[in-house]
Chain A
């Protein structure tokens, strides 16, 4: 049975659940395509009860469901083995609880990251999370895909900020994990299983997040004029010192100019945030360290623009459909960042590569740029080997549709893959939710 036929049989049931205006079909589902594959229908529930009942219908009829935020990061992962319904959470868009003095906020999954930041900003707070394409991302999507940005250097990643999660399991059962308080040690922390799981264990309905006071000022600097190793060395010294940098990003390949670096070649950016005096005092130390390392310091006069570009790197270029671009992320030890970048540059040659590393976590991201699809695919293999030789791994985040199916997106199965598959089977035995998209064939 095709997806359209399977979906057609349940349309009346779905319309009864979410209302006729809550089901999209025909030309309207083009917006929910994954590569060339469109679902039979898109369903837009109004509340968690409707999500639950939609999933119950889907699981009873053996349909494949893809949870959907705003689609900005749906390039992550393989195509699902079945794609019948897009479960669009756009109408779950309320901030449910926000008490600034508790420094927590509870939101529905469909709330936009930027909308949330504006709301928190009114109280002088912010969510210390800067995922790529935040203007097109929902909180639920960012949690499900575990998307982080340069701010992770100071504030940690999604898993450090999520305090509570409510999910609808594949059969519609709604469960919560964690609690709406900043500290909790009550039974298993299942929130962690849903962070980064791409919705394969349940559809995220709402989450409570830790929020932070917004620093008084943030100022950034470029550190340039040296080779990659010097830049990297300075980054490690910064991170091992009692300075408290907000962001430390190492750029190589063509990413420097793309992100606004004042000059070609490798570059390091660093920023400090807090009260004016502390920022100034750290800047002075940074300058001293830079001199010792033989790097030139240039104050950044357009910090917010640079941060935005770095935050979106390399996702923004995914917009431009030029033939051979593959966006990836990779992890190595923080002390191996320069080695990895050099090896990646060699692996990509003679084609192009742009990359950035959040040195604190050894988290690299970038894109391979080649004149043909075949050349990009070959570059990917070489790049993965280069990172692998350092004990690291590389994951493809986005790739052109024609070659995506032929690429190994996730790399080797992770440690504990057997347990992970069993967990998937325990929560979604009939493979309803994003089946086949995740690491380890999950």
Chain B
């Protein structure tokens, strides 16, 4: 961007959002040079703009479109695939000042919120009245609903309830041209193509969502949380399959391996046994009668697969403590390793045990520790590649091991992201999943919504291949 363009944009944006809504000082811009993906890239945006309304977003986008400048939407910056990094420079549009809950409609079980509203704020607002918002990414205390929509965020409880796309009914979107459109809405089955379904998970490349209508669910009557303690990850994986095969769909079925339990215990004191090869955290929700029956069956199934212990949290305190362990994993990792690369992939549940063995072998082969704490119920694994950036070669080895792991998951019939998205991180892996024709179809869609290609450029799609055109 030329200094003149930047100056012009700065003034135009200040006109729109006010002087306090634009960040332009180099040292302040550096705050925005990356999100929660720390391994790959960083880039400083030319300007950061913090609008407070949909109209302001649209005006800023129009100004950028006229200037031919890239726009990059950003929520809380907790994304793990680098979607909010302004790799091509341009204007970072940060939605955190648009954080209001606009409407709660309990008879229709919807809430309308601004995109910068924090995920957990929705549940906090409606829980006293008997409702909740189901998607619960680990970042839910910080991440915004707009970011959740962009990434199709998941979380432990997606096993039963589904991911963000299953809980969003409508979105107000500012297209890359600056036009404001409504995708979906509170009415079901609207005629025409499901543009909302397309938009959710498009990682900010098709426009910027400014308001979201979400579905609320009534709180369940009963919750039971069970800790299953196993000798090995393999036995725990088999128990997972056994539970599902019985026709039980827990709301969450999380696996925590030994390396992680040890780190977590030192930090959170959740009561996980240190000598266990793996623990399963199994949560059941629903009717009291149903949950009681299922808890009994889950215990049986754990014992049938050789568990050392299976215990049910006896009260809310015990339950909170078990979850504290799981939710502290990310924090505990900081004590285990100087640096880490947090991966995300999904494999068919039945391939879980085999894939986990292969991952362990890959770790040994590359000399990289790979603890794993993940959503076992839906086969969504999160291998954590540990390295120390002060030791030459460790980073490269961790990345190489990560690459092997992705290929292994694809070979098992899986996918390279379950809930973190592609962003910058996994662009090249898309080719493992999709043919050139598949990717071309996506690009055609993109060309309709973002014909210039300035909306979060450089994300999702692999770099064009060279030399293909030569005869």
Contact = CB atoms under 8 A, between A and B. Distances in A.
Given A181-B413, A427-B444, A156 B166 contact: yes
A244 B191 contact: no
Contacts of B441: 169, 173, 175, 177, 190, 427
Nearest to A178: B415
Contacts of B413: 180-181
Q: Which 6 A-B pairs have the closest CB atoms?
A: A192-B197, A213-B247, A439-B191, A414-B192, A277-B289, A278-B290
Contacts, number: 258
Interface in A227-243: 236, 239-243
Interface string A18-57: 0000000000000000000000000000000000000000
A329 B189 contact: yes
Interface string A390-432: 0111010000000000000011011111011011001100000
A61 B318 CA distance: 70
A290 interface: no
B162 A275 contact: no
Given A182-B378, A183-B378, A393-B190, A426 B447 contact: yes
Interface string A322-362: 00000001011111000000000000000000000000011
A317 interface: no
Interface stretch (A5-13, A94-102, A252-260): A94-102
Chain A residues touching B, range = 35 or more
B181 interface: yes
B109 A334 contact: yes
A210 B281 CA distance: 23
Interface in A130-183: 146, 148, 156-157, 159-160, 169, 173-177, 179-183
14 contacts: A175-B437, A175-B441, A176-B435, A181-B347, A182-B349, A185-B152, A185-B163, A186-B421, A188-B442, A240-B218, A282-B287, A333-B108, A415-B181, A419-B181
Interface of A: 99-104, 124-125, 146, 148, 156-157, 159-160, 169, 173-177, 179-193, 195-197, 201, 212-214, 236, 239-244, 274-275, 277-278, 280-282, 329, 331-335, 361-363, 391-393, 395, 410-411, 413-417, 419-420, 422-423, 426-427, 438-440, 442
B218 A146 contact: no
Contact of B348 (A102, A146, A278, A280): A102
A313 to B, nearest CB: 16
B198 interface: yes
A388 B30 CA distance: 51
B416 interface: yes
Given A183-B419, A333-B186, A242 B130 contact: yes
Contacts of B77: none
B345 to A, nearest CB: 9
Interface in B123-165: 130-131, 151-152, 154, 158, 162-163, 165
Interface of B: 105-109, 130-131, 151-152, 154, 158, 162-163, 165-166, 181-183, 185-198, 200-202, 218-221, 241, 244-249, 286-290, 292-294, 344, 346-350, 375, 378-380, 413-422, 426, 430, 433-435, 437-442, 444-449, 460-461
Given A104-B348, A282-B287, A331-B188, A183 B198 contact: no
B446 to A, nearest CB: 8
Given A124-B247, A188-B198, A275 B289 contact: yes
B350 A102 contact: yes
Contacts of B438: 175-177
Contacts of A183: 154, 158, 163, 346, 375, 378-380, 415, 418-419
A185 B433 CA distance: 12
Contacts of B349: 101-103, 182
